[in-house]
């Protein structure tokens, strides 16, 4: 019994958890992060907060401090790389990076199709091996006789069935 429990735990931690968790949730859960203190302002990557409460890089190195000094001057004199470096000091991700999705949808769609296909196989097997014969009224001859009777008795003559039959030419319109 202990062996089977060990087996179940092994399967859970080694296999099932990874398979049953979406990539985004997995990354969020297992990513190595420091303990987060939610009672102070946090950095966040959100489309609707262009300027988060705190900058991304809190502890500047010497070079980064020099860059910040340059920022106090005229911005037209900053090079493109400096501007990009300043952006990356205050923001972790750009808008384009935040908006890009993952490729997870392909896995999900593939899984859906696999299961749909499998269900189709089950349904087909059931039709062949479990169901009995259909009633005789579904034979072509019987259906033709019923259709003729429906036309004769003017079933749904206004917009429906008999409306589509041309009674003069004796054919469907």
Partner 1 sequence: MAHPTQLGFQDAASPVMEELLHFHDHALMIVFLISTLVLYIIIAMVSTKLTNKYILDSQEIEIVWTILPAVILVLIALPSLRILYLMDEINDPHLTIKAMGHQWYWSYEYTDYEDLGFDSYMVPTQDLAPGQFRLLETDHRMVVPMESPIRILVSAEDVLHSWAVPSLGMKMDAVPGRLNQTAFIASRPGLFYGQCSEICGANHSFMPIVVEAVPLEHFENWSSLMLEDA
Site residues for partner 1 per CB under 8 A: 47-48, 50, 95, 135-137, 142, 145-146, 148-150, 153-161
| Phi and psi, residue 165, nearest 5° | -100, 130
C-alpha torsion angle, residues 7, 9, 11, 15 (rounded to 10):
-160
In the complex with partner 1, the residue whose CB is nearer, 35 or 153, is: 153
Distance CA 83, CA 75 (A): 8
Contact at 8 Å (CB) between 57 and 87? no
Find the shortest distance in angstroms from Cβ 44 to partner 1: 13
H or E element, residue 13: none
Find the shortest distance in angstroms from Cβ 15 to partner 1: 34
Find the shortest distance in angstroms from Cβ 67 to partner 1: 27
In the complex with partner 1, the residue whose CB is nearer, 66 or 154, is: 154
For the record, the structure tokens of 28 come out as: 């969020």
Query: By three-state DSSP, how is residue 48 classified?
Result: coil
In the complex with partner 1, the residue whose CB is nearer, 57 or 150, is: 150
Find the shortest distance in angstroms from Cβ 173 to partner 1: 15
In the complex with partner 1, the residue whose CB is nearer, 24 or 27, is: 24
């Amino acid at each position: 019994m202990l062996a089977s429990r060990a087996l179940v735990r092994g399967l859970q931690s080694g296999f099932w958890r990874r398979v049953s968790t979406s990539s985004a949730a997995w990354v969020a859960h297992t990513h190595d992060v420091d303990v987060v203190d939610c009672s102070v302002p946090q950095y966040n990557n959100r489309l609707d907060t262009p300027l988060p409460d705190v900058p991304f890089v809190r502890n500047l190195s010497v070079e980064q401090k020099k860059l910040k000094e340059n920022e106090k001057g005229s911005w037209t004199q900053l090079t493109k790389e400096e501007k990009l470096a300043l952006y990356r000091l205050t923001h972790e991700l750009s808008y384009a990076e935040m908006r890009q999705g993952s490729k997870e949808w392909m896995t999900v769609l593939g899984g859906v199709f696999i299961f749909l296909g499998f269900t189709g196989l089950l349904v087909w097997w059931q039709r062949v091996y479990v169901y009995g014969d259909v009633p005789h009224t579904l034979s072509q001859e019987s259906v033709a006789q019923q259709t003729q009777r429906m036309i004769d008795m003017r079933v749904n003559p206004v917009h429906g069935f008999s409306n589509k039959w041309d009674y003069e030419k004796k054919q469907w319109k």
